[in-house]
Amino acid sequence: MTLRFSKMHGLGNDFVMVDCRTQPFALDTAQIARLGDRHFGVGFDQLLTIEPARDSKCIFRYGIYNADGSPSGQCGNGVRCVAAWLHRAGALTAKTARLESPSGPVTVELLDAGRVRVDMGVPCFAPDKIPLRLAEADPYRLRIDASDIEFGAVSMGNPHAVIEVADVAAAPLKTHGAALSTNVHFPQGCNAGFAQIVDRAHLRLRVWERGAGATLACGSGACAAVAVLRRRGKLDAEVAVQLPGGTLDIHWDGADAPVWMSGPAEFVFEGEIQL
């Protein structure tokens, strides 16, 4: 079969976009993983499908698959790319629209200069909803690779562990991040973020994403880091989160308010591949 796709990225977090508005998505896990391979396929952190909405209040639905073929519940950089893709295709003409993600509806707002603002929903800290098999605490503690790790945990539609560090450049991303992302206490795995507080309005962050590994940016991870650290009283409502690929602007009023994320969405190329 021939698969047509668009390649996009949000701060280097890259995606293959597949138009499934008129025909169902037909790739299995192995085919997705092969397509995601950066040597034998196209290469991506996540594959995003654009589908008819099931929720009548949303204009379209998007599906999310990691580079290893596993499904995901949310992708902050990805939803901005979905909005930009729909706008370029002429399917999103209003400045504001409602999209259906695997974890529920999100609101997107088209800004100037190719930027998109997204309502990422209300953070969920309840362990059974993350899901996390530990009694509720902040911080949580686990033994990882012979080290005691303290972390906060939250769901932003997908599970996140947030570890506060003094220097993000020295964070053990490939060891502790990878091990925590597959730890048995997270039955669905998690995205492990290492966050350095620069000041109350500025974070540095690196994320090991479940099913994808280290990425240049993680939108839901930026939201999770702000939610965990602002809940501890360490951040203001407006925070610039600096990731290896660039900066996301995060706003959270706290408590039962949604987290808003703003950042760019960029096209790279259009292509097709034989599978």
Task: Summarize pLDDT for 124-147 with one digit per residue, the tens.
Answer: 999 999 999 999 999 999 998 888
Please identify which of the residues 75, 81, 190, 223 carries the catalytic annotation.
75
Do you know the residue count of the chain? 275
pLDDT tens-digit map of 103-119: 999 999 999 999 999 99
Q: Is the dihedral of CA 20, 23, 24, 28 positive or negative?
A: negative
Q: What is the pLDDT of residue 52?
A: 97
* C-alpha distances in Å from residue 28, one per residue of 31, 35, 101: 5, 11, 20
The predicted model gives 150-164 an average pLDDT of 97
In 124-258, DSSP assigns E strands to 140-144, 147-155, 159-164, 191-199, 202-209, 213-215, 238-243, 246-252
Tell me if domain 2-121+264-274 and domain 127-257 are identical in fold: yes
Q: Measure the CA–CA gap between 6 and 159, rounded to whole angstroms.
A: 27
CB 4 within 8 A of CB 32: no
Q: Domain residue spans in the chain?
A: 2-121+264-274, 127-257
Q: Is pLDDT above 90 for 88?
A: yes
Q: Measure the CA–CA gap between 49 and 53, rounded to whole angstroms.
A: 12
Q: Is pLDDT above 90 for 71?
A: yes
Task: Identify which of 126, 132, 138 has the alpha carbon closest to the alpha carbon of residue 184.
Answer: 132
Q: What is the pLDDT of residue 145?
A: 83
Q: Which residue's structure tokens are 């290469």?
A: 43
Burial class (CB within 10 angstroms; exposed 0-12, middle 13-18, buried 19+) of 8: buried
The whole-chain average pLDDT of the chain stands at 96
- Segment holding 9, helix H or strand E: strand 2-10
CATH fold label, 127-257? Diaminopimelate Epimerase; Chain A, domain 1 (3.10.310)
pTM, two decimals, is: 0.93
Q: In degrees rounded to 5, what are phi and psi of residue 201?
A: -125, 15
According to CATH, the superfamily of the domain at 2-121+264-274 is Diaminopimelate Epimerase; Chain A, domain 1 (3.10.310.10)
Q: What is the pLDDT of residue 146?
A: 86
Q: Measure the CA–CA gap between 55 and 200, rounded to whole angstroms.
A: 38
Predicted confidence band of residue 22 (pLDDT cuts 50, 70, 90): very high
Helix (H, G, I), strand (E, B) or coil at 124: strand
75 classed as catalytic: yes
190 classed as catalytic: no
Assigned token pair, 241? 């989160």
Please identify which of the residues 58, 81, 190, 218 carries the catalytic annotation.
218
Question: How large is the greatest C-alpha to C-alpha distance in the chain, in angstroms?
Answer: 53
Q: Which residues make Cβ contacts (< 8 Å) with residue 189, sequence separation at least 6?
A: 159, 181, 182, 210, 211
Q: What is the pLDDT of residue 163?
A: 98
